[in-house]
Each structure stands twice: as structure tokens, then as C-alpha cells.
Chain A
Amino acid sequence: MGLALACFVANALCFCAWATASQQLPLDLAGRAVDPFAAGSKLTVLVFVRTDCPLSNRYAPEIQHLARRYASHGVNFWLVYPDNAETPAGIQEHLAAYGYTLPALRDAHHFLVRMAEATVTPEAAVFRGSKLLYHGRIDNRVQDFGQTRVVVTAHDLEDAIAAALDNKPIPPAVQAVGCYISDLR
């Protein structure tokens, strides 16, 4: 589905062009449409998660660490739930249980999923404005199902953020391992 980027402004995405598709927009937990790219941050990081994915849940502390570390650098983190079966109440509970203090969005129509080219949870995507710079794994802890590293040796998301802040080339992304977003159609 082609998205007409008719309205493009540096650091902001204009949703006006999609007024007719407004029911596809991501919603916050109060049900309001949200543009995560409009906050005027240097970088926007979307982390796709599910309440029922153990691989995604295990990353909660690390996601929080990264968000905290880069908050003062003008990087905004958002949790994105691509599951149309999840309810705001269910997500609230999930946030509380896992100690998440990040803003959460429900992306039932996979609008952000498509922008980020995300395929699994957890998967992270880094944007400058609405330009996708990186999407892939957070780190190399999970090599494959059943192949979890004891020592993490590559911090892909962090490297991508640091490179982007420095206007350096982003290292090549690596496919994340996780629960499939395609199962949530």
C-alpha cells in the first residue's frame, strides 16, 4: 500500500495527507491519534513489542536503559504494539508489570510497522524525521530461537543511535529474532 508522502517537513510528518485513512493511524492508550515523529526530537526510536512475546518482554529493562541514556540527547523512544487484539487496559498492565515508563502506541493497522519495515518483536527502528535510518535487532543476545548468548557482544541499536547522532554512517542492520508481526494480521 503506497503511502503518499505529500506533506514532508524536516523533523515532522504531516498527517493531513492521510485524513481519509485516519482510522489507520496509531493511537495512544487514551484512543487519540498520535504522530510519533511530530515531537521535534533529533531522532525517533520505535520499539515494536507484544505483551505475549517472551523474547520481547525479556528486553524491557534494556529498552528502558537505552531510552534513559539517550533522552538527554534528544532521542524519543516509543513502544509500539502492533497487535489489534491488545486492549489499552491490557497494555497498561503490561507497562506496569515490566516497569516501562515510555509512551505506548497501538498500531493495529500496522501503519508504523510498514514505515519501519518491522517484521518481529522486539524490533527497533530509528528515524530522523520520518526517514528510516535503521531497523533490526536491539543487540545480539538472541542469535536464533533456542540460541541465546550468555555474553552480549554487539549492541546494534545503540551503535545505530550513536552513529545517527554523530551524523556518521549507520552500521548495517541485522535481522531481529522474535515473534512474528505477520501473525497479527
Chain B
Amino acid sequence: MAWATITLRGPLAAQKPAAGHARGSGAENFPQNPTFSHDVAAILYANCVQCHRPGGAGPISLITYEDAKRHARQIAVVTEKHFMPPWLPDPEVVSFADQIHLTEKQIRILGRWAEQGAAPGDLSQAPPVPQLAAGWRTGKPDLILTAPAGYVLPAEGSDVYHNFVFKILVEGTHYVKAVEIHPGNPKVVHHANILIDRAHSAERMEARHPGSGPGFDGMDVEMESDVFEPEGHFIYWKPGTPVWSEPENMTWRLSPGTDLVLNIHMRPSGKPEPIQPSLGIYFLDKQPTLKPMLLQFDRDDALDIPAGARNFEVADDFKLPLAVSVYAVYPHAHYLGKQLEAYAVLPDGSRKWLLMIRDWDPAWQGIYRYPQPVSLPAGTVISMHYTYDNSDENPRNPNDPPKRVTAGNRATDEMAHLSLQVVPAGPSRGGDLRLVLQEALARHKLARDPNDYGANYNLGALLLSRGQPADATFYFERSLTQRPDSATVLNSLGAALLQSGRMENAMTRLQQAVAADPEYVDAHYNLASALALSGRFGESAQQFKWVIERKPEDADAEARLGSVLAAQQNYDMAEAHLRRALILDPNNTVAKENLRLLEQLRSRTNDHAR
């Protein structure tokens, strides 16, 4: 069936390279004449060479003395400006796992070394070069997916955001522990993140926006996700990142029919660059016991930034209805973002900082993981405060002269998103606590902005999954006023109307959904069901057949086709499809029921015949 939730996502990015602190001389004394061998190599090896090595994400290698010497002053300047190593959060406010950060002492050492002519010291005494495994660093993947060749990043122009779609061909459901992303050309790919596409949204997007190579462009991509399994993991790549492996109890489900969308941010290098990423997927044979979710806050509704505004602020405060543990955070804004902060105020009045980025740079956005999960009791208020600079003093302003900017998906629009990976805690009463959080957040957003498309849609999907189709309809109708041509909304609205028994309206909406996107399999399926319930068996059978042609493994479609054919008294064909349904899924109740009825019918007919 087709109930779906949209989880609005921005491009995600990865955690930082492994941290290390140069022990160096160990003494508090500052080296008056630092050398590569005694002082500088240790700093570079601990903080820089995960990217700055041959084949690495950095454009230059800093492994040998000669390499470092050729860039000595540059190293001094970029570290003094805190441009390198790239790490946006202020480590004095919030410490994250794997953070890279040079101390003031280390920066002064690098500066002095360059000033004094970059002395080698005794190179035979230099520390050993850290070795990094080549190929798949996590070991042999269970599944390797490679994008088709043919996408070429142009030689010049501004940053490019492109999406590759990977179809997962697996038998049965698996649980994923890790995804190792090889972006194809780490020197031009700035970051990459994976969105789990359980409803073939990306495939449809690719069809609507064909480019000259595989995939489609787009900075922020919306993905539908299964309402029963809200997205809960950040899957990403960032230069020099160690590959993240989920803890054993926190894997995520990968079922057949899921696609993975790799959203990549790239910067032109001066020459055309072919990009062909690949993914290594690692399974674990264990269902997760901890089910996180991504709590996605946003203040996009408040983004109306006048041209010239230097310090435009948006803020949001959300009171948690349940206790949660926070595992990771992903802040997101575009080119005008300046200072991004988030914190939690607990019921006892104490404050826990969640994020402090004083100088946002979208090129270096990342996922930041807390060293220990942060516990927030029920009643905690989570606050976000983001500021924006839409003046001509902001070199990254995509408009010259500055223009009024509002929220949107394009690079020239803005965003104010904060995503927290949380695991809710508390008495379950049988329900999924994540849905409690999701509902609370959706209602919070709607109280502020009744036209929030994502919130309306999510709430509708939630209510539908709870068996409240009439209420769901209300929210889907509201989503439709925001996006009147959306096949997704039309389909969900149609499904809700169907479940409410409003057959005619359901039919209209589903027909509109199919007209809006003729390849939308779920919409065809729902339409087929609506036609069957209206007694229009011939048309229904046609629609189910269409679905089966597109999804030959769909047991439900086969079963329902079978029952429709039976209703048309086409018993032999009916039986064939019902049996096929059982081959595909031996537990399919519709098929089992209908075959039983068919058998009864047949034996009665035989009795009559005698």
C-alpha cells in the first residue's frame, strides 16, 4: 500500500577526520626553532594527512618534508585563519567526537617554522607516516554499487549539487551497519550524503529532469519515507572521514525496492572531472533494538531576508513531550548563514549546548556526533537561533547586488534546518514513541505556520497510519493547497478518502495522481483498489495488470488482481494470479482467503453439476 510520509531532508555531510593531538615535545616549552622532524610532522600527521596525502581528498600532499616545505607559508596562513583544519563548531562550547582542532601552540609552531625557512631537522628521526588502508577501509562489502559512468563535473562555474540514484537489488530484508561512500573523485567532491528512498521518489525525479549524464541536479532533495519507519540515521561522507559504523543495536532496515540517493556537493577544479561514485554496504544479521529518529526542526517559514540585512535572525523553541537521548546533530543553511546555535534548557533550568558555529560555511557542513548521547528529560525546551548575512559584505552572497531571499531548495534560496538524531525514551504503551515525537513536532510547526507543507503531509500520513483517515484527509487537503500538482499528495489524499469510504472523491484524486505522474506505481495500485471497490472490475484489473508489469514481484498486486478477476467470474485466470501471489509471498492473506473462497465456489459448482 501507499501511505507515505515525506521527511524533508537537506544534503547531509559527514563527521570530521579523526582527531589527534600532537604530543610533539610534550613539554610546555615553546620550540624556538621548530623543525619538520621534531615538531611539524607530528602536527600534520595527526590532523592533516587523512586528506592531504596522495589519492586523498586534499589537493596537495603534506606527507614528505619536501611537500610540506613547498607549502610552508600557506600552511601557516590557513591554520592561523582557522580555515584549516576544516571544523565549523567552536570546540570551547561543544566538543564533538572526532573533532579536529589545532591548539594555539600548534598554530604558532607552524607559523614559526615557515617564518624561519622550514627547517627539516633530522629527517631520520621524523615520526612514521600514518598508514591508511586503500580500497574498502571497512573490509569487503556485502554489496557494492557503482554509479553508471558518464557524469562529468564541468571545468568552471560555481558549486554543483548532483544526485545519483542507486537501485538496491537484494533478496529479502537486511540490516545495514555501515555504508562506505567512495565519491569517485574526493578532490572535487566536498561532501556527500545518502538519502534512503523507499518509494522510488528519486527515480521519478530523474525521469522528470533528465540531464546529460546519470542522475539529476539539485541541492536539497525531498524524500518520501515510510511512516512506519521514520528516517533515523545520518549516512554521509566528508573529506578525511573515518567510515561510521552504527553500533550493533542501531542498524537500519534495507528492504528490496529501496533506492539510495547520493547527494553530492562538488566544486569545479579548472578541468572537466568525470565522477563515478560507488557505495560499499555492510550488513549485520541483527534487527536493531534501538530505533533512532531524525527530529527535523526548521524555521523556513520565517526566512524572508531583506537585501542588505546583516544579522537577520530566526529562532525556534520546541518542548519535548518525551525524554530523548541525542546522538548527533546536522545543521543546515545555505550561503547567507552566519551564526548557527542550538541548545536545550532542561526543566531544572540548566542549559546544555548542542551546537555553536560562529562562522557558517556551507562548503564544510557536517554531521557532528556527541561523544556521549546527550540526555534530555521530558519537558526540555530545544532552541535554535540562526543568523543570516544578506549584505554585500558576505562574499558568498549568491546575488549581486543583494536581493530579498526566502526559503527554498535552490542554492540561491535559504534554509534554517536543524536535524537531531534522537532515541526517545519513556513508557511505551504499545505505540512507537517516535510517532509521538513526530506528531508533536508536526503540530508544533503547524501552530506556527498552518501552511507548512511538510508538517501537514507528515501529520496526515501519521493519522492515516493510525486508522484516522478522516482526520488525515484534512491535512492532506491542506498539503494539496500548497502543492496542487503533487502526485504524491494526490495519491495520499486519494488513499485517505478511500479509507474513509468517500469513493467518488477518492477516485477523482487518484486519477489526478496518475495523470500528474503516469509512472507512479503506488497511485495506480490505489486507483485499482478504488475501482474494485466501486465495482468497476474491468478497469480495476487493467490497473492491477499495469502495476504488475512494473513490479513483477508485487504479491499484493497479484492477489488483488486475482480477486478482481474472480469477481468477474474469470476463475481460471483468478486462480493463476492468486497462486502466483502465494509463490511470491506464502503468507499473503488476500491470496489465501480468495483461493479458499475460490475452492469453495468450485466445489459448490461441482455439487450443483452432479
Q: Which residues in A have some Cβ–Cβ distance to B below 8 Å?
A: 52-54, 57-62, 83, 85, 97-99, 143-151, 153, 179-180, 182-184
Q: Is the CB–CB distance between B155 and A99 below 8 Å?
A: yes
A153's partner among B84, B267, B268, B400 (CB-CB below 8 A) is B400
Closest to A151 in B: B400
B59's partner among A54, A59, A147, A184 (CB-CB below 8 A) is A54
A183's partner among B59, B72, B268, B269 (CB-CB below 8 A) is B72
Q: Is the CB–CB distance between A52 and B72 below 8 Å?
A: no
What residues of B have a CB within 8 angstroms of the CB of A183 in the complex? 69-74, 114, 118
Q: How far is the CB of A149 from chain B (nearest CB, A)?
A: 5
Instruction: Tell me the bound Cα distance from A97 to B273 in angstroms.
Output: 10
What residues of A have a CB within 8 angstroms of the CB of B81 in the complex? 144-146
Q: Which residues in B have some Cβ–Cβ distance to A below 8 Å?
A: 59-60, 66, 69-74, 77-78, 81, 83-84, 86, 114, 118, 155-156, 158-159, 187, 267-271, 335, 361, 363, 395-400, 411
B270's partner among A59, A144, A149 (CB-CB below 8 A) is A59
Instruction: Tell me the bound Cα distance from A150 to B84 in angstroms.
Output: 20
Q: Is the CB–CB distance between A150 and B269 below 8 Å?
A: no
Instruction: Tell me the bound Cα distance from A143 to B71 in angstroms.
Output: 19
Q: How far is the CB of B57 from chain A (nearest CB, A)?
A: 11
Q: Is the CB–CB distance between A52 and B395 below 8 Å?
A: no
What residues of A have a CB within 8 angstroms of the CB of B66 in the complex? 85
Known: A145-B81, A150-B335. Contact between A57 and B73, CB under 8 A?
no
What residues of A have a CB within 8 angstroms of the CB of B156 in the complex? 58, 61-62
Q: Is the CB–CB distance between A99 and B78 below 8 Å?
A: no
A143's partner among B269, B363, B395 (CB-CB below 8 A) is B395
Closest to B359 in A: A146
Q: Is the CB–CB distance between B70 and A52 below 8 Å?
A: yes
B155's partner among A60, A83, A143, A147 (CB-CB below 8 A) is A60
Closest to B187 in A: A54
Known: A54-B269, A57-B270, A60-B155. Contact between A147 and B71, CB under 8 A?
no
Known: A52-B59, A58-B269, A144-B81. Contact between A180 and B400, CB under 8 A?
no
Closest to A179 in B: B74
What residues of A have a CB within 8 angstroms of the CB of B114 in the complex? 183
What residues of B have a CB within 8 angstroms of the CB of A151 in the complex? 158, 397-400
Nearest 9 interchain pairs by C-beta: A54-B59, A146-B83, A60-B270, A61-B156, A57-B270, A150-B398, A143-B395, A180-B73, A145-B83
10 extra A-B contacts, CB within 8 A, seeds A150-B158, A183-B74: A54-B60, A60-B271, A61-B270, A97-B271, A98-B155, A144-B81, A147-B395, A149-B395, A150-B335, A151-B398
What residues of A have a CB within 8 angstroms of the CB of B155 in the complex? 60-61, 98-99
Q: Is the CB–CB distance between A146 and B361 below 8 Å?
A: yes
Q: How far is the CB of A14 from chain B (nearest CB, A)?
A: 34
Instruction: Tell me the bound Cα distance from A149 to B398 in angstroms.
Output: 8
Instruction: Tell me the bound Cα distance from A52 to B58 in angstroms.
Output: 11
Instruction: Tell me the bound Cα distance from A148 to B72 in angstroms.
Output: 22
Q: Is the CB–CB distance between A58 and B361 below 8 Å?
A: no
Instruction: Tell me the bound Cα distance from A150 to B159 in angstroms.
Output: 8
What residues of A have a CB within 8 angstroms of the CB of B396 in the complex? 147-150
Q: How far is the CB of B204 from chain A (nearest CB, A)?
A: 30
Closest to B69 in A: A183
Q: How far is the CB of B60 from chain A (nearest CB, A)?
A: 5
Instruction: Tell me the bound Cα distance from A53 to B397 in angstroms.
Output: 25
What residues of A have a CB within 8 angstroms of the CB of B78 in the complex? 145-146
What residues of B have a CB within 8 angstroms of the CB of A179 in the complex? 71, 74
What residues of A have a CB within 8 angstroms of the CB of B159 in the complex? 150
What residues of A have a CB within 8 angstroms of the CB of B59 in the complex? 52-54, 57
Q: Is the CB–CB distance between B60 and A52 below 8 Å?
A: yes
Q: List 20 A-B contacts (CB under 8 A).
A: A54-B187, A60-B155, A60-B271, A61-B156, A62-B156, A144-B81, A145-B83, A146-B361, A148-B267, A148-B363, A150-B158, A150-B335, A150-B396, A150-B397, A180-B71, A180-B74, A180-B77, A183-B70, A183-B71, A183-B73
Instruction: Tell me the bound Cα distance from A83 to B397 in angstroms.
Output: 35
Instruction: Tell me the bound Cα distance from A149 to B335 in angstroms.
Output: 10
Closest to B401 in A: A153
Known: A150-B396, A183-B70. Contact between A58 and B270, CB under 8 A?
yes
A98's partner among B72, B74, B86, B271 (CB-CB below 8 A) is B271
Q: Is the CB–CB distance between A98 and B270 below 8 Å?
A: yes
What residues of A have a CB within 8 angstroms of the CB of B69 in the complex? 183
Instruction: Tell me the bound Cα distance from A59 to B84 in angstroms.
Output: 22
Instruction: Tell me the bound Cα distance from A180 to B78 in angstroms.
Output: 12
Instruction: Tell me the bound Cα distance from A149 to B77 in angstroms.
Output: 19
Instruction: Tell me the bound Cα distance from A182 to B72 in angstroms.
Output: 9
Instruction: Tell me the bound Cα distance from A62 to B70 in angstroms.
Output: 25
Closest to A61 in B: B156
Closest to A177 in B: B77
What residues of A have a CB within 8 angstroms of the CB of B399 in the complex? 151
Closest to A49 in B: B270
What residues of B have a CB within 8 angstroms of the CB of A180 in the complex? 71, 73-74, 77
Closest to B268 in A: A58
Q: Is the CB–CB distance between B269 and A99 below 8 Å?
A: no
Closest to B334 in A: A150
Q: How far is the CB of B73 from chain A (nearest CB, A)?
A: 4
Instruction: Tell me the bound Cα distance from A62 to B269 in angstroms.
Output: 12
Known: A147-B395, A150-B398. Contact between A57 and B269, CB under 8 A?
yes
Closest to A63 in B: B270
What residues of B have a CB within 8 angstroms of the CB of A145 in the complex? 77-78, 81, 83-84
Instruction: Tell me the bound Cα distance from A118 to B158 in angstroms.
Output: 26
What residues of B have a CB within 8 angstroms of the CB of A58 in the complex? 156, 267-270
Q: How far is the CB of B423 from chain A (nearest CB, A)?
A: 35
What residues of A have a CB within 8 angstroms of the CB of B74 in the complex? 179-180, 183
Q: How far is the CB of A98 from chain B (nearest CB, A)?
A: 5
What residues of A have a CB within 8 angstroms of the CB of B70 in the complex? 52, 83, 85, 183-184
Instruction: Tell me the bound Cα distance from A102 to B156 in angstroms.
Output: 18
Instruction: Tell me the bound Cα distance from A97 to B274 in angstroms.
Output: 12
What residues of B have a CB within 8 angstroms of the CB of A99 in the complex? 155, 271
What residues of A have a CB within 8 angstroms of the CB of B269 in the complex? 54, 57-58
What residues of A have a CB within 8 angstroms of the CB of B71 in the complex? 179-180, 183
Closest to B70 in A: A183
Instruction: Tell me the bound Cα distance from A146 to B80 in angstroms.
Output: 12
Instruction: Tell me the bound Cα distance from A150 to B157 in angstroms.
Output: 9
Closest to B157 in A: A61
Closest to B158 in A: A150
What residues of B have a CB within 8 angstroms of the CB of A98 in the complex? 155, 270-271
Instruction: Tell me the bound Cα distance from A97 to B269 in angstroms.
Output: 11
Instruction: Tell me the bound Cα distance from A54 to B270 in angstroms.
Output: 9
Instruction: Tell me the bound Cα distance from A149 to B159 in angstroms.
Output: 10
Closest to A52 in B: B60
What residues of B have a CB within 8 angstroms of the CB of A62 in the complex? 156
Instruction: Tell me the bound Cα distance from A98 to B59 in angstroms.
Output: 15
Closest to A59 in B: B270
Counting chain B CB atoms within 10 Å of each CB, the highest count among A54, A59, A97, A183 belongs to A183
Instruction: Tell me the bound Cα distance from A145 to B86 in angstroms.
Output: 11
Q: How far is the CB of B118 from chain A (nearest CB, A)?
A: 8
Q: How far is the CB of A179 from chain B (nearest CB, A)?
A: 5
Instruction: Tell me the bound Cα distance from A32 to B335 in angstroms.
Output: 48
Instruction: Tell me the bound Cα distance from A39 to B13 in angstroms.
Output: 51
